[in-house]
Chain A
Amino acid sequence: MRHIISLLMENESGALSRVAGLFSARGYNIESLNVAPTEDPTMSRMTIVTSGSDEVIEQINKQLNKLVDVVTVMDLTDGDHIERELMLVKVRAIGDDREELKRMTDIFRGRVIDVTDKTYTIELTGTGHKLDRFLQAIEHSLILETVRTGASGIGRGDRILKL
């Protein structure tokens, strides 16, 4: 099953490689991983999307907690949570396609953030599933480039991951 694991870790060089190294050394999957400093500059927040049996996910949580640089770990999928991912898509936009692509972007509540006479760059936010659906909805041959951040997640309401 797919899990979104969120963690706070020391904002130190090498901390990311400890987490990434743990996943590769123990053969755990990483679907996506993103990390950036938080409002407290000594800490970074990481979101890892992974999958595995309940036993594997339990081990992932425990092994992450065991890393000295990891301050706290939460499996967001254990409760109510919000998941968002940002995608930038560059598409070939000429002739009739220009109108069609703009329309699809509007339907998916995206924005065109860069325009040339031959291309659009579209910004789209949502769950990974929604971003996948957008890519399926537009003509595949028009896609020139995509870049995705991987999911970021946060608990709903009072579910707060803080030191």
Chain B
Amino acid sequence: MGMAQYISARIVYAVVVSMIIVTASFLLLYFSPNPNIQAAAQQAALGGENPEEAVERVKEARGLNDPIHVQYMQFVENVYTLDWGWSETRSEPVTDAIVSSFKYTAQYSVPWTVLSVLIAPTLGIYSASRMYTWKDHLATGFAFFGYAIPNFFFAILLVLVFGVWFEIFPITYDTTVPILSLENAWQLVLPVFVLVTGSIGGTMRVARNESAEFMNADFMKTAKAKGVKPTRRYTHHVLRPTLVPLSTSLVSALFALFVGASVLVEEVFAIPGLGRLLVQSIISQDTSLVLGTTLVFTFVGVVGNLVEDLVFTMIDPRISYDDR
């Protein structure tokens, strides 16, 4: 199998996975009680009407009496044409709600991603170049700490220490300040710090262990003998082979955190981003919004896996596509 074929197979596969997830969501919703119907029945009962008639009316209006495959096709079509319905609690289309919250998610996700990509390999190679010195142990200890401490607990600790006790940083996120202002950057310091610590932990370990392999490789000795400066040796000779395993680990760590931890970090710092939107929609029982936000996160996950595989194939020319 050639590389082009491999990539197209991967993309087809991603589409299949997304279909499976959409189908699973549909089945879940299909077999669960619909809060809209219950609300209609309740209203009818309160207004002295026949609740069963009201239920029938709502079912008819929403097309719930159609056979399952018709409903399914309609559902799939709506999902892929971004017709995700109306959010009752926010009184706007679901897509609008998602776009407006995404603005806030992006504000901390971009700096966090850039910082992680820069810091993790640097720290890992630095650690490997000074293996088993106290500097290495310090870096490794930091990595383990960042990896093991629950992100949300770390966020709470930071809020407690720097927000409540020392009052250096604001406790809650202020949406009124302009995006490109110093105050905005200042209030994003803690969330970004928490996420960077969380994401570089595992990646830095990978970078350290992988680059350690090349530190004493023959080509490094040659480079050294030829008088190549240490920095250049690390950036040109060690970093490149290290990037192959590192990229997958980094991409997957970033996506895992985006889907998992960002929800919690947003919740702790009260950032009105996507994660908070999802939690709020679940608590306020807003079905369309729950579905819309979960779909965004699942699609991000699927695309993340795809990107991970593609990055892998592009960086490493040695991989054979014959067996996966």
Partners in one complex: no
